[in-house]
Amino acid sequence: MSLKYLLTALAASQLAFADDSCGDTTIENQSDADGINSCTTLKGDLTIKKTYSGDLSLSGIEEITGGIISSGAANVSSITAPTLTSIGNKFDLEGLTTLTLLSFPKLTSVGSINWEALPKLQSLNFDTGVTKAGDVSISNTGLTDLNGIQLKTVGTFSIQNNRDLKTININNLQNATDLISFSGNYDTLEIDLPNLGTGTNMTFQNISSVSVPSLEKLTGQLGFWGTKFETFSAPNLTQTGDLVFKDNSKLSNISMPNLKTVNGGFTIARDDKLSTISLSSLETVKGAIDFSGTFDKISLGKLKDVEGSFNMQSTHGNFSCDSFKQLKSEDVIKGSFKCEADTKSPTTANGKSGTSSSSSSSSSSTSSGAAFMTGANVPVVGLAAIFGALAQLL
């Protein structure tokens, strides 16, 4: 083997090594970050160490194939990435308790977002806007809105315990392929999903309004717990899985004029202001109907098939069970049947109180299980190993 060949091989290996410096990188100060600013593409994860302090600027990098990961870096005050357009894997920030600025003006695509405990972060400087993300989980941040998150599609979308969050408007979102859930945010949170047409499960807790004018079909559960709105309107909704309204203290009007099919159970409990329930198109309930409360009038004009049991109990003197007894006798209601009007303590099918004046409130089991794929760790071949290989050739 000629020396010339060996030198060429050596040069090539050094080039490979130079490339490796654009692989998995851990940084603990700005000069570490400056060391990768010639990497247009970072082929791996960028990890920000706990001990990083102050501002971080990631200039020059346009793409990170892995993730941006930082946990417990309590002294990072800002992260700025002026040229970054995409993060292939996870964008995980946890416990960056003094972070006030996230500036990613060109970012459009992220594998997944998981932000947890960023109490000083109030807004996002995502000028172009993230339109593509897998699972998104945002909890315990100081964000007042989610402007800059402009998803067209999303997997799990979980927004929990952001006590300053006032509005969420995701104009672009048309199709949600996994659980969408909101809970423990401030009670004044207003949610607008103007173009969402289809989804799987959607659960709402502790919000003050929700607008879903285009929603047509859910394959899973639609549930509301402890909300503060007066009217729920889903003008285009034709079909859902389980449908739940519990502990919504101000709810007086449920408007779903086109709802035809509930592919699950339908529960209404402890919504003390609800007096009239009118679902003029409802034909089929695959599970049980379980309504308890203070309502006066219920009209389910087209009901043809209730496959589960039927429990209806109201405190109201003017509420009448007659039409439902008829439905039972006509075998529209297939399961067990119980209907009580003018009862002092209405209960749900499982024996819990149907009004909030009595105790025992239940809440949903909100699962916030955002699962993230872990980045493939590309093995790094060190220079020493390459020299070792060369030595063997000699």
Q: Among residues 105, 119, 129, 213, which is the contact residue for ligand NAG, using CB under 6 A?
A: 213
CA Rg value for the chain: 28
Please say which residue, 80 or 253, places its beta carbon nearer to ligand NAG.
Answer: 253
Residues 27-66 that bind ligand NAG (CB under 6 A): 28-29, 31-32, 50-51
**Piece in contact with ligand NAG (CB under 6 A), picked from 103-111, 234-242, 338-346, 371-379:** 234-242
Kindly indicate which of the ranges 195-203, 322-330, 374-382, 386-394 contains the residues binding ligand NAG, using the contact rule CB under 6 A: 195-203
Token pair for 183: 């809970």
Per-position b or e across 24-57, b if 16+ CB within 10 A of its CB: bbebeeeeebeebeebeebbbbbbbbbebbeebe
CB of 246 to ligand NAG, least distance (A): 7
* Token pair belonging to 22: 């654009």
Q: Is 177 in the site for ligand NAG (CB under 6 A)?
A: yes
Is residue 224 near ligand NAG by the rule CB under 6 A? no
Instruction: Kindly state the smallest distance separating residue 355's Cβ from ligand NAG, in Å.
Output: 15
Q: Report the first-to-last Cα separation within the chain, whole angstroms.
A: 8
Q: Which of these ranges, 39-47, 179-187, 329-337, 383-391, lies near ligand NAG under the rule CB under 6 A?
A: 179-187
Give the one residue of 67, 148, 220, 346 binding ligand NAG; rule: CB under 6 A.
220
The contacts of residue 375 (CB under 8 Å, 6+ apart) are 44, 45, 66, 67, 88, 89, 90
Q: Does 75 bind ligand NAG (CB under 6 A)?
A: yes
Bridge partner residues of 297 (DSSP): 276
How many residues bind ligand NAG (CB under 6 A)? The answer is 38
Task: Using alpha carbons, select from 152, 134, 138, 230 the residue that is nearest to residue 184.
Answer: 138
Work out how close the CB of 186 gets to ligand NAG at its nearest, in angstroms, rounded to a whole number: 8
Report CA-CA distances (Å) from 365 to 205, 206, 276, 383.
11, 14, 28, 52
C-alpha 232/C-alpha 212 separation (Å) is 9
Burial of 146 from C-beta contacts in 10 A (0-12 / 13-18 / 19+): buried
Residue whose CB is less far from ligand NAG, 114 or 126: 114
Among 144, 188, 211, 236, binds ligand NAG (CB under 6 A): 236
Structure tokens at 261: 């099919």
**Token pair belonging to 351:** 């024996």
Binding flag, residue 105, ligand NAG (CB under 6 A):
no
Q: Applying CB under 6 A, which part among 63-71, 124-132, 217-225, 303-311 lies near ligand NAG?
A: 217-225
Query: Should residue 21 be labelled a site residue for ligand NAG when binding is judged by CB under 6 A?
Result: no
Span interacting with ligand NAG, options 70-78, 83-91, 320-328, 352-360, rule CB under 6 A: 70-78
Among the residue ranges 107-115, 118-126, 247-255, 305-313, the one whose residues contact ligand NAG (CB under 6 A): 247-255
Closest to ligand NAG by CB, 28 vs 305, is 28
Torsion angle, alpha carbons of 90, 372, 366, 171, to 10: 40
Residue 175 makes contact with ligand NAG by CB under 6 A: yes
Cβ-based neighbour number of residue 114 at 10 Å: 20
Residue 81 or 279 with smaller CB distance to ligand NAG: 279
Is 308 an interacting residue with respect to ligand NAG (CB under 6 A)? Answer: no
CB within 8 Å of 148: residues ≥ 6 apart? 123, 124, 125, 126, 127, 129, 130
- Asked if 115 and 139 count as a contact pair (C-beta separation under 8 A), the reply is yes
* CB 390, min distance to ligand NAG, A: 28
Which tokens belong to 362?
A: 């239940």
- CA atoms lying within 13 Å on the CB side of residue 10: 13
Q: Which of residues 314-373 bind ligand NAG (CB under 6 A)?
A: 317-318, 363, 367
Q: Which of 206, 208, 311, 356 binds ligand NAG (CB under 6 A)?
A: 206
Among 247, 271, 272, 290, binds ligand NAG (CB under 6 A): 247
Residues that bind ligand NAG (CB under 6 A): 28-29, 31-32, 50-51, 72, 74-75, 175, 177, 179, 184, 187, 197-198, 201, 205-206, 213-214, 220-221, 225-226, 231, 233, 236, 241-242, 247, 253, 255, 264, 317-318, 363, 367
